[in-house]
Chain A
């Protein structure tokens, strides 16, 4: 990682970034009012995945660790919700989120102890292997997890029961639930922004850029990586918890390592060298996949070709390329 590219581009002052962020949030809030319900639900999926990719990028972009096992934490969040419905008869979204966070902290703390001892390719393989353990458990213990049939999750009640999903499910998902996702999304983005700009986030970037030097300065590499691993996994777990009611069903597919590959894909598509990259990437990827799946049965071929072309020609992703173009444009005028 240390050989890769310059440090993160800090675009403008914090105040300017905040203005941009707030205006984007307002635009996102207007979406359900103008687009048909299907469009809003599609965007909700994109926002959920954006939370997951944002968490993933704390490891890839900021700590320099490529995880091929983030599907596991997404799945832990999703299955935590589904099992809460099945065994505890819980129906409140807030409790779901708390449960999913608790479950993903537990799992990532455990996995992290094993994984962060390694870097580079071994870290990738190890995270992949551990995620496959969870996948095989979800797959085989069908009396608990429903096996390939998965577990159904009914529409939850939001804000401590103030908003319930009784009545039209589409209307609920495209309005009440969309806003719920949007609120959590904004909170996650704000939190992640604070994390990466905190001394902790700076230490992570120091580790990424030069491990030895960071250690000499006094950064406790192992512990920092472990905390980053846990935080990253919890964000992705939260995304899983938000995703389940939207999808209505959780299956072992979301734990399979190829889904981790999709998370990596969206992050690289957006550009893992910028803060907003994974968010853009996740939303774009969501549209890309939806239309590719609708357009052809060979959507994997299409997406695979896009991925190969992307890493060959635009390694900085959408955000990086846009930034470069903007810089060139500004240089001319």
Chain B
């Protein structure tokens, strides 16, 4: 029983980080119709910045200070996003999708090496924060307290995002732009500004995902590319452009991954892709996507 509970918690842990990454990817696609192949690298960037802030810059500081520094990665990713969108992506909106994909693929290569250039080829760890939290009893076993924090952040982020998009004026503008960019523009919406904001928000989420997971793991090269592929599965299952879909997809992928690692480690990834392919066959636009 306890074992199952631990598995459940682990699935939720995966799901919250995946939701943050895939939610950002989906948000950006929903508003701007761009699939950002470099999205995983923004997640990695967030992880690296936080690991650097906590593990190197403020090494030895007290836990509250470290907690304050935790979102540094998210902010850094958001700033990077706010710079990238107007400079590199804006010229591509009027051109075919192939060019957008290629441009973001080039960006992926650049960012991958920038991380290596700035922080070197070795893993960067911020485990002091993870260790300082200790662990909580779960039944007769114990579970790291920090992981509860990650699950909590994922849940709060989902709630906050929902409120942001469905309950604020900005959310209305965002959804209007997503539904019909020309019409929104004709009604006086500054589409360029909405695009920057949406892209920045998406990058913030990816960076947050990286920032909160890095104390329990480490920032390593290649983590972005791996995460991107998982995020793709999530959005394909849930429906590209849908936040509810990203949430449900993240939960499904989280559970299947946890089950896979426990019972069928060899074909874990293959099973995930097969689920994605099956969903596409039955519902081409994903579970929650607009057909």
Contacts and interface: CB of A to CB of B under 8 A. Distances in A.
Nearest to A119: B97
B280 A114 contact: yes
Contacts of A121: 35, 97, 101, 240
B114 A124 contact: no
Interface string B226-250: 0001001100100010000000000
Given A298-B117, A304-B107, 11 more contacts: A3-B96, A118-B284, A121-B240, A125-B236, A129-B232, A140-B269, A258-B225, A298-B116, A303-B109, A307-B103, A308-B110
A261 interface: yes
A140 B114 contact: no
A257 B229 contact: yes
Interface stretch (A76-84, A130-138, A231-239): A130-138
B258 interface: no
Contact of B280 (A4, A118, A265, A268): A118
12 contacts: A3-B96, A114-B281, A118-B280, A128-B232, A130-B277, A137-B270, A140-B267, A268-B98, A301-B110, A305-B110, A307-B109, A308-B88
B97 A66 contact: yes
Contacts of A268: 98, 102
Contact of B96 (A1, A118, A137, A310): A1
Contact of A68 (B95, B101, B109, B114): B101
| 9 nearest A-B residue pairs (beta carbon) | A304-B109, A307-B106, A136-B269, A301-B113, A304-B110, A308-B106, A133-B273, A300-B113, A300-B109
Q: What secondary structure prevails in chain A residues at the interface with B? A: helix
B289 to A, nearest CB: 10
Interface string B77-116: 0000000000010011001111101110111111111101
A207 B17 CA distance: 41
Nearest to A143: B266
B82 to A, nearest CB: 18
A125 B273 CA distance: 11
Contacts of B274: 133
Given A66-B98, A129-B236, A300-B113, A311 B267 contact: no
A312 interface: yes
A304 B108 contact: yes
A285 to B, nearest CB: 13
A311 B269 contact: no
A114 B277 contact: yes
B198 interface: no
A298 B101 CA distance: 22
Contacts of A60: 98
B276 interface: yes
A15 interface: no
Interface residues of A, number: 45
Nearest to B113: A301
Contacts of A305: 106, 110
Interface in A3-33: 3-4
B8 interface: no
Given A114-B281, A120-B97, A121-B240, A301 B102 contact: no
Given A118-B284, A136-B269, A265 B105 contact: yes
A88 interface: no
A6 to B, nearest CB: 14
A125 B284 CA distance: 12
B265 interface: yes
Interface string B253-271: 0000000000001111110
A249 to B, nearest CB: 21
B109 A129 contact: no
B109 A137 contact: no
A301 B114 contact: yes
Contacts of A300: 109-110, 112-113
Contact of A307 (B105, B240, B276): B105
Nearest to B34: A121
A125 B268 CA distance: 19
Contact of A130 (B96, B240, B273): B273
A122 interface: yes
A82 to B, nearest CB: 19
Nearest to A298: B113
A66 B105 contact: no
Contacts of B105: 261, 264-265, 304, 307
B270 to A, nearest CB: 5
B112 to A, nearest CB: 6
A193 interface: no
Nearest to A133: B273
A117 to B, nearest CB: 7
A125 B36 CA distance: 12
A301 B268 CA distance: 32
Interface string B13-47: 00000000000000000000001010000000000
A41 to B, nearest CB: 25
Given A68-B101, A136-B269, A140-B265, A126 B91 contact: no
Contacts of B273: 129-130, 132-133, 136
Nearest to A2: B96
B103 A117 contact: no
Contact of B269 (A132, A306, A307, A310): A132
A217 interface: no
A122 B284 contact: yes
Nearest to A302: B113
Interface in A288-329: 297-301, 303-308, 310-312, 315
Contacts of B277: 114, 126, 129-130
A307 B108 CA distance: 11
B103 A312 contact: yes
A130 B101 CA distance: 18
